[in-house]
A and B are shown apart, each in its own frame.
Chain A
């Protein structure tokens, strides 16, 4: 299975900060990467797919980049509602799909 790693595992930030979360795949996955946001007690929410395509209805402060093995989720200006855990997922190899371990963003 393709292993997805994320860094950092958690960090504190302030509203208004620019935030970057990194995801690395154990082998190339092209641009078959999605990013999800999850808040406590809630289901994950799709933010980005195909590495850089913004899901409909997601604020433009979220963006994704990367290809091959290295990917980045950027939040350009952190808002209070963005404090959550973020997961990357590869769907290049669907046997199985795999997710990263998550990056928790909390309030400094």
Chain B
């Protein structure tokens, strides 16, 4: 059974870089069948797509975050990662990793990690 697990610091200082990793088990990020993505949800608010990556390294980012976001993939560890630079209080959220239902970027997400709460504070 596919499982995704987010990990990383739960507290990041303003202006620093948020770094999170999603570890995939019961499946493989090296599969050519799926995109993998990051989504966030500020406390009490709705969902925002951050970006997605294919095993080949092809990435798509939300234009509103693109200047600060890098998503990468490590097939040897079955992980993909998110880096968000120059964070502010507006970046505080629960961050989810997920799997798209297909190898098409235009697809829904059918598997999600449990989420990790990231707080931005000095």
Does any Cβ of B come within 8 Å of A75's Cβ?
Answer: no
Residues B112 and A89 in contact, CB atoms below 8 Å apart: no
Stretch at the interface among A18-26, A38-46, A66-74, A76-84: A38-46
Stretch at the interface among B57-65, B71-79, B84-92: B57-65
Chain A residues with CB under 8 A of B112: 43-45
Residues B46 and A95 in contact, CB atoms below 8 Å apart: no
Select which of B46, B62, B64, B113 is within 8 A of A43 by beta carbon: B113
Residues A99 and B47 in contact, CB atoms below 8 Å apart: yes
Residues of chain A from 53 to 108 with CB closer than 8 A to chain B in the complex: 55, 87, 89, 91-92, 94-102
Indicate the size class of the contact surface on chain B: 20 to 34
Chain B residues with CB under 8 A of A97: 49, 62
Nearest-neighbor residue (CB-CB) of B96 within chain A = A43
Residues A87 and B46 in contact, CB atoms below 8 Å apart: yes
Chain A interface residue count, CB cutoff 8 Å, equals 24
- Classify the interface of chain B: helix, strand, loop or mixed: loop
Chain B residues with CB under 8 A of A43: 96, 98, 112-115
Residues B46 and A34 in contact, CB atoms below 8 Å apart: no
Tell whether A46 pairs with B108 under 8 Å between CB atoms, given A95-B63, A96-B62, A96-B63.
yes
Residues B46 and A102 in contact, CB atoms below 8 Å apart: yes
Residues B108 and A99 in contact, CB atoms below 8 Å apart: no
Does any Cβ of A come within 8 Å of B105's Cβ?
Answer: yes
- Report 27 cross-chain contacts, Cβ distance below 8 Å, ordered by A residue: A1-B63, A34-B108, A36-B47, A42-B114, A43-B96, A43-B98, A43-B113, A43-B115, A45-B112, A46-B101, A49-B101, A49-B107, A49-B108, A49-B110, A55-B110, A87-B46, A89-B108, A91-B106, A94-B52, A94-B106, A95-B62, A95-B63, A96-B49, A96-B63, A97-B62, A99-B47, A102-B46
